[in-house]
Amino acid sequence: MNPNHDPHDAQLDRNLRAAGRSISLPDAPTAEQAAGWKRAAPVAPASLGLSEGGTRRRVWRFAGVGMAVAASLAFGVISLWPTGHAPVEAKQIFASFTEKLSSAFRVSFENIVADGVHVDGQVIAVFPEPSGDDSADTTGTGVCAELHVRGDKSAEDFAGGDIDLRFALTPGHEWAYLRLNKLPREVLKEGGPVAAIIYGMTHDGLLLKLDGFLEGKLAGLGEHFDLARAFREANHEVRHAMKNVHTEIHSELKKTAECDASNPENEEAAQIARALQELLPKLFSGGATSEDLQTLGSILEQAAGKVTVTPMSDGTTVLEASEFKADEGDEDTEMIARLVLRIVYRPQVGVERAEVLNVGESNGRVRIELGNASLNDTMFDESRLIDGNRTRVLDLGELMKVFGPMIEQAIHEHEDSDDDDSGDDDDE
Amino acid sequence: MTSSILPQPVAALAEPVAEVQRPLHADVDREADFDRHATALYRFFLVRLANDRHAADDLMQQLCLQWRQGGRHVPGDELEFWLRRVARNALTARWRKNRRRPDQCTLADPALAAELAERMVREELPPGLLEQRETRQQLMLALTTLSTADQELIVSHYFQDRSFAEIGKALSLSERAVEGRLYRARQALRARLAHLEENEKEFRS
């Protein structure tokens, strides 16, 4: 039918025009996102012809193994090398990493299984820019987490358990959510009526609204909580903690290297350390060249049987290392051998993302994205979690208004009674 | 016009959606085949995942990986069908793995969608109706089940306010040809809306 002679189509046309004016489409992917999808595909092997093999013994001692591989492999191997001759440079490198970590990050883990416990989820944090001013803008900042934990038959204390946990904290939206989909079998057997009550309260979801609880005055308790200020303080704490971690690891590694001064292996480590001293500042500042990345690949070959460095058409370079070998006697040899480390580097920006594949018993994935995490409004919208009248909602702020004075009185009475008791002791 | 978000969808019909990353020696034509549908597929995920960009990114990565492993051998004229099937499977597998559908995900409401399909051809929809979340969701669900070509035509003309001439220029078509294609796209959208249950049944179980 000719569209010009179809009155129904003409009406449809007008309504679609109105819809187009009032409905926003979801965001389109950016070129960077589209590039990220392509990175998921296997990187072409030996694209720069790096050789395989090499000595692999000591790197694991430095890097550590286990669930912390995401952080320690991606950044530990390359930034925490025992640069005994140049602690200042090491600090600068780590400061760069800390800066990125503390502004925004996303850690996601998928299909991570350990001892029968399965975990999927993500944590996203966006902190305000560091500022000495307490009134600094905190718009767009916040922390949210989504975790799904379940236990299979082999999970000792959690067999059969299945829990959803979520929380979100951003100025204006603060809540925590728990849904107990299934109770662990042990709890079912031994928990009795208490377990039944807890299950009854949470199996359709329990939403704890924290707005009035955290923000402003905690009625009756006389405490004040400023979430925006808490974020700023958290930012400071993260930075401080990361610096402490760095100092401790650095000190430990330096000690290890000095203890083995007579060992010829140490000379090899020293050579690598010198190369890294030149390379790492460039890598984290985005100033590394393709030759530098090849050098980094060669260094990683100390730990990995196979390393590829692949320049991509969007300008990034993907460094992938696999076939890792563990130290002799390491219990995790098989798991380590399966791991694949992937680092994405962008010129002028630096390391953009690091991920470790084939983690744990079920070949899970851990990914760390630095500096470019963003928060989605839907993550903070607690209404999506409320399922009609089935989900229980507790407003802790309102509860505190009612029970706060009673709690305060109870605390004071308890303190007074402690004082009396101690006074009696003194008398005796 | 509130939507702004899709950059140059019409151009996407004729060219790869973006300067996507690829290994330097890859088969560029095959990459372009995938890229041509990438925006529509990403939108498909976003609409069903309540705009969760990270989850949609993960699924697009998975889709890309599967395409590289098996989809490259699919004939060009069957690729879109293949990609959409894999995309649906990936979404349902994700929900199955997590034991259930996320709370915030968009659900089809077949009765509402059918009513909307009927009213859209019979009367001027009141602005208040179009602003309702449920209405928007049904429209988005139907839109994202359309073929890439139909979808981009609708998006370009109605959501990005591009004229027949602009679309025609991007596609090397006459204005009359664009008008005809848009007519068919509208009818397809209405049909999808009227039968939303059929299109979304695997997401309702």
* pLDDT score of A40: 52
pLDDT in tens, A294-335: 888 888 887 788 888 888 777 788 888 888 877 666 667 777
Q: Give dist(CA A42, CA B22) in Å, integer.
A: 11
Task: Give me A399's structure tokens.
Answer: 């509860």
Q: B5 vs A185, which has greater pLDDT?
A: A185
Q: Give dist(CA B35, CA B173) in Å, integer.
A: 21
Asked if the model's pLDDT at residue A404 lies above 80, the reply is no
Q: A58 vs A71, which has greater pLDDT?
A: A71
pTM of this prediction? 0.51
* pLDDT score of B154: 94
Backbone angles phi, psi at A375, to 5 degrees: -105, 140
* pLDDT score of B141: 92
- Nearest-CA distance A426 → chain B (Å): 60
pLDDT average, residue stretch A210-236:
56
Helix axes A7-22, B110-122, angle to 10 degrees: 120
Q: Give dist(CA A231, CA A144) in Å, integer.
A: 12
* pLDDT score of B15: 32
Task: Give me A89's structure tokens.
Answer: 């440079």
Asked if the model's pLDDT at residue B14 lies above 50, the reply is no
Region of poorest pLDDT, from A47-51, A217-221, A370-374: A47-51
* pLDDT score of A239: 59
Q: Do B24 and A312 touch (CB under 8 A)?
A: yes
Q: What is the DSSP string of A230-277?
A: HHHHHHHHHHHHHHHHHHHHHHHHHHHHHHTTT-HHHHHHHHHHHHHH
Q: Do A313 and B23 touch (CB under 8 A)?
A: yes
Q: What is the dihedral of CA A77, A83, A88, A91, to 10 degrees?
A: 20
Asked if the model's pLDDT at residue A77 lies above 80, the reply is no
Asked if the model's pLDDT at residue A157 lies above 90, the reply is no
pLDDT average, residue stretch B66-84:
80
- What is the β-pairing status of strands A206-209 and A392-395? parallel
**DSSP 8-state class, residue A177:** E
Q: B153 vs A395, which has greater pLDDT?
A: B153
CA distances from B138 to A397, B47, B107, B117, B125 (A): 37, 10, 8, 10, 14
* pLDDT score of A223: 52
pLDDT band at B162 (very low <50, low <70, confident <90, very high): very high
Q: Give dist(CA B37, CA B18) in Å, integer.
A: 11
- Nearest-CA distance A267 → chain B (Å): 37
Q: What whole-number percentage of chain A has pLDDT above 70? A: 55
Q: A401 vs A34, which has greater pLDDT?
A: A34
User: Which of A354, A372, A371 is CA-nearest to residue A68?
Assistant: A354
Asked if the model's pLDDT at residue B153 lies above 90, the reply is yes
3-state secondary structure of A141: coil
Asked if the model's pLDDT at residue A418 lies above 60, the reply is yes
pLDDT band at A234 (very low <50, low <70, confident <90, very high): low
Size of chain A, expressed as the number of residues it contains: 428
Q: Give the residue from chain B lying closest to A204, CA to CA.
A: B103
* pLDDT score of A68: 35
Q: What whole-number percentage of chain A has pLDDT above 90? A: 2
Asked if the model's pLDDT at residue A257 lies above 90, the reply is no
pLDDT average, residue stretch B83-105:
74
Mutate to test the interface with B, among A2, A5, A14, A22 (most CBs of B within 10 A): A22
Asked if the model's pLDDT at residue B43 lies above 90, the reply is yes
Region of poorest pLDDT, from A329-338, B7-16, B55-64, B133-142: B7-16
Q: Give dist(CA A309, CA A49) in Å, integer.
A: 9
* pLDDT score of A107: 82
Question: Chain A within 8 Å of B189 (Cβ-Cβ)?
Answer: yes
Q: Give dist(CA A116, CA A130) in Å, integer.
A: 41
User: Which of A411, A374, A222, A290 is CA-nearest to residue A47?
Assistant: A290
First to last CA, chain A: 105
Check: complex ipTM more than 0.95:
no
The conformational region for residue A388 under phi > 0 = left, psi -120 to 50 = alpha, else beta, is: left
pLDDT in tens, A2-23: 555 788 889 999 999 998 888 8
Asked if the model's pLDDT at residue B144 lies above 90, the reply is yes
pLDDT in tens, A113-130: 888 888 888 888 776 655
What rounded mean pLDDT belongs to chain A? 68
Asked if the model's pLDDT at residue B151 lies above 90, the reply is yes
* pLDDT score of B188: 93
Task: Give me A261's structure tokens.
Answer: 């001064």
* pLDDT score of A12: 92
Q: Give dist(CA B176, CA B183) in Å, integer.
A: 11
What rounded mean pLDDT belongs to chain B? 77
Q: B201 vs B73, which has greater pLDDT?
A: B73
Asked if A242 and A147 touch (Cβ cutoff 8 Å), the reply is no
Residues 140-159 of B with CB under 8 A from A: 140, 154-155, 157-159
- Give residue for tokens 């744990």: A360
Q: A381 vs B204, which has greater pLDDT?
A: A381
Asked if the model's pLDDT at residue A59 lies above 60, the reply is no
Question: Chain A within 8 Å of B126 (Cβ-Cβ)?
Answer: no
* pLDDT score of B186: 94
Q: Do B61 and A36 touch (CB under 8 A)?
A: yes
* pLDDT score of A93: 45
* pLDDT score of B94: 77
**For B2, which of A17, A21, A181 is closest by C-beta distance?**
A21
pLDDT average, residue stretch A84-105:
48
Asked if A97 and A83 touch (Cβ cutoff 8 Å), the reply is no
Asked if the model's pLDDT at residue A250 lies above 80, the reply is no
Q: Do B60 and A16 touch (CB under 8 A)?
A: no
Asked if the model's pLDDT at residue A88 lies above 50, the reply is no
Q: Do B53 and A384 touch (CB under 8 A)?
A: no
Question: Chain A within 8 Å of B177 (Cβ-Cβ)?
Answer: no
